[in-house]
C-alpha cells in the first residue's frame, strides 16, 4: 500500500476509480490495548465496505477489489498517534495517508473516493512558513499538513562590536551612541537577509511566522517585503529547538490565525443571505455546483447525507440510508465538484454550521425568477434585476 501525502490524496478528486473504497481509522487511542482496538476497528470497517460492495458487484469484481485490500490491511503497521489514517483503494490504486487531525471511524464504498475529512485536515493545518532567528544563522522552515522541513539556512551577518570612526563620535554619550550603531547594523543585516530570501516568497501568499528574540523580529519587519507577514510571532530564544519543536509551538497560534477564515466564511454567508446570494437547500446547491455557480461552500464534517449525485446536471436522489456501493455522501460529492469548479470549501462541526444546516452556499450569481423578468423598455425606473444588483454588491 503506497504511502501518500494529503496533497496526493486531493488529486483523487478527479480520479474515476469505481468501485472505490475509502476507510478512515482513528488512531488517537490512549488505552494500553490501543493497537488491539485499532485492529478490531479496522476489521469492522473492512467488513462494512465488503458488505456494501457485495450488494452491488459480481463475485469476480469483488474478489479483484477486496482480496488485495484484505492483504494490505493485514500488513498495515498500526501505531497510536494524535491523528488518524485514511486508506483509499480501487482495482488499480491503493494508498494510505497519515492524518494530522483526529477522524471518526468511517468506511465508504462508492463510485468515487470519499475525501471530506481530507478537506478538513487541509483547512485546519494549512501551509505556512517559519523564519527562525538562531544565534549565528536564520532558518526558513516550511510547514504543511504532511511534514515540516528546512528550506534554507542563511548566516546572520550582524557585527556585534566595532569602533566609531573619529568623525562619527557619539554626541549623546558612548552607551547611547553604541546602541544606535548596533540598531543600524542590525537593520542593514536584516535588509541583506530579506534580499537573500526574497525569491522564496515572491508571488505567493503563504503566512510567514517569525520566531526568535523580539529585537531581531522588529528589525526584520522594517526590512521585510513579504506580503503576508504575521503581526504576532514566537518570542524568545529558539537556538535549542528543532524543527518539530518549532512547529509544535506554532500550532496554537496558527490555528487562531486560520480560524479567522472560518469565521469570515460564516459572516460572508450571512451577508450573502441578506441579499439573496445564498442557499441552504441541498438540491439547489447541487445544481448550482454543477453550473459552477457556487463561490463558497460550507459543509458539516460530522454529518452524511447518502444518495446519488449526477455531476453533469446536479440532480440528486436522497436515500434514507446507505444500501449499496453506488450511493455516496452527497455533501462530499458536492464539495468535490465545487473545488473542481474553482469554489472555496469550508468544513465545520455541525454546532458551528449556520442554522445547523448540513450544507450552505454563497452563490456567484442568482437566477431571476420568470415573473420578474421583463423587457428592458418596461423596466421600472431606479430598479434593476437581482443579477445586476448582485454585481454591484460583489464589486
Give residue-wise pLDDT tens across range 330-359. Answer: 999 999 999 989 898 999 989 999 999 999
Write the CATH number for 14: 3.30.960.10
Rounded to an integer, what distance in angstroms lies between the CA atom of residue 112 and that of residue 19?
Answer: 7
Beta bridge pairs of residue 361: 279, 297
What pLDDT score does 163 carry?
A: 54
Is the Cβ–Cβ distance between 136 and 193 less than 8 Å? no
Q: Residues 31, 36, 39, CA angle at the centre, nearest 5°?
A: 125
Q: Select the more confidently predicted residue: 1 or 359.
A: 359
The pLDDT tens digits for 16-75 are 777 899 999 998 887 778 889 999 999 999 999 999 998 888 899 899 999 999 999 999
Residue 305 pLDDT grade (very low, low, confident, very high; cuts 50, 70, 90): very high
Q: Select the more confidently predicted residue: 389 or 157.
A: 157
What pLDDT score does 113 carry?
A: 92
212 phi-psi bin (left φ>0, alpha ψ -120 to 50, beta other): left
Domain-terminating residue out of 82, 114, 146: 114
Q: What is the dihedral of CA 299, 301, 306, 307, to 10 degrees?
A: 30
Write the CATH number for 382: 3.30.1330.30
The pLDDT tens digits for 211-248 are 999 999 999 999 998 888 998 999 999 999 999 899 88
What pLDDT score does 177 carry?
A: 59
> Residue 379: pLDDT above 90?
no
Helix, strand or coil, per DSSP, at residue 73: helix
Rounded to an integer, what distance in angstroms lies between the CA atom of residue 216 and that of residue 235?
Answer: 10
Instruction: Judge if 134 and 225 occupy the same domain.
Output: yes
Is the Cβ–Cβ distance between 127 and 110 less than 8 Å? no
88-97, 147-156, 206-215, 375-384: least confidently modelled range: 375-384
> Residue 173: pLDDT above 70?
no
Instruction: Judge if 212 and 287 occupy the same domain.
Output: no
What pLDDT score does 125 carry?
A: 61
Mean pLDDT of 97-122: 87
Instruction: Judge if 107 and 134 occupy the same domain.
Output: no
Rounded to an integer, what distance in angstroms lies between the CA atom of residue 116 and that of residue 358?
Answer: 13
Calculate the CA 276 to chain-centre distance: 28
Q: 147 Cβ partners below 8 Å, 6+ apart?
A: 5
Q: 173 lies in which domain range?
A: 128-258
Rounded to an integer, what distance in angstroms lies between the CA atom of residue 122 and that of residue 13?
Answer: 14
Judge residue 291's burial from the number of C-beta atoms within 10 Å of its C-beta, 0-12 exposed, 13-18 middle, 19 or more buried.
Answer: middle
> Residue 204: pLDDT above 90?
no
Amino acid at each position: 500500500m503506497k504511502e501518500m501525502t494529503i496533497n496526493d490524496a486531493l488529486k483523487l478528486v478527479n480520479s474515476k476509480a469505481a468501485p472505490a473504497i475509502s476507510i478512515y481509522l482513528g488512531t488517537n487511542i490512549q488505552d494500553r490495548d490501543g493497537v488491539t482496538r485499532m485492529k478490531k476497528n479496522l476489521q469492522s470497517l473492512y467488513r462494512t465496505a465488503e458488505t456494501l460492495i457485495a450488494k452491488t458487484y459480481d463475485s469476480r469484481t469483488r474478489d479483484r477489489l477486496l482480496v488485495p485490500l484484505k492483504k494490505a490491511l493485514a500488513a498495515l503497521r498500526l501505531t497510536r498517534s494524535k491523528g488518524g489514517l485514511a486508506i483509499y483503494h480501487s482495482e488499480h490504486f491503493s494508498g494510505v495517508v497519515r492524518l494530522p487531525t483526529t477522524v471518526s471511524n468511517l468506511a465508504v464504498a462508492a463510485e468515487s473516493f470519499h475525501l471530506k475529512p481530507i478537506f478538513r485536515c487541509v483547512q485546519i493545518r494549512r501551509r505556512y512558513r517559519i523564519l527562525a532567528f538562531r544565534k549565528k544563522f536564520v532558518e526558513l522552515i516550511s510547514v504543511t499538513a504532511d511534514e515540516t522541513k528546512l528550506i534554507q539556512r542563511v548566516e546572520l551577518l550582524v557585527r556585534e562590536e566595532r569602533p566609531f570612526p573619529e568623525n562619527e563620535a557619539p554626541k549623546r554619550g558612548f552607551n547611547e551612541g553604541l546602541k544606535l550603531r548596533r540598531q543600524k547594523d542590525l537593520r542593514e543585516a536584516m535588509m541583506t537577509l530579506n534580499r537573500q530570501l526574497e525569491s522564496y516568497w515572491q508571488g505567493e501568499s503563504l503566512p510567514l511566522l517569525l520566531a526568535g528574540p523580539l529585537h531581531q523580529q522588529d528589525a526584520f519587519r522594517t526590512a521585510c517585503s513579504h506580503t503576508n507577514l504575521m503581526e504576532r510571532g514566537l518570542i524568545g530564544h529558539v537556538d535549542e529547538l528543532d524543527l518539530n519543536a518549532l512547529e509544535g509551538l506554532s500550532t496554537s497560534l496558527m490555528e487562531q490565525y486560520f480560524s479567522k477564515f472560518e469565521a469570515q466564511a460564516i459572516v460572508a454567508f450571512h451577508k450573502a443571505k441578506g441579499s439573496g446570494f445564498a442557499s441552504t437547500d441541498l438540491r439547489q446547491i447541487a445544481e448550482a455546483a454543477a453550473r459552477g455557480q457556487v463561490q463558497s461552500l460550507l459543509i458539516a464534517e460530522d454529518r452524511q447525507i447518502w444518495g446519488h449525485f449526477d455531476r453533469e446536471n446536479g440532480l440528486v436522489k436522497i436515500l434514507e440510508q446507505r444500501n449499496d456501493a453506488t450511493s455516496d455522501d452527497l455533501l462530499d460529492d458536492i464539495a468535490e465538484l465545487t473545488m473542481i469548479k474553482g469554489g472555496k470549501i469550508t468544513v465545520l462541526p455541525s454546532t458551528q454550521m449556520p442554522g445547523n444546516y448540513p450544507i450552505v452556499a454563497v452563490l456567484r450569481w442568482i437566477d431571476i425568477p420568470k415573473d420578474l423578468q421583463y423587457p428592458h423598455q418596461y423596466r421600472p425606473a431606479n430598479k434593476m434585476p437581482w443579477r445586476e444588483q448582485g454585481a454591484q454588491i460583489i464589486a
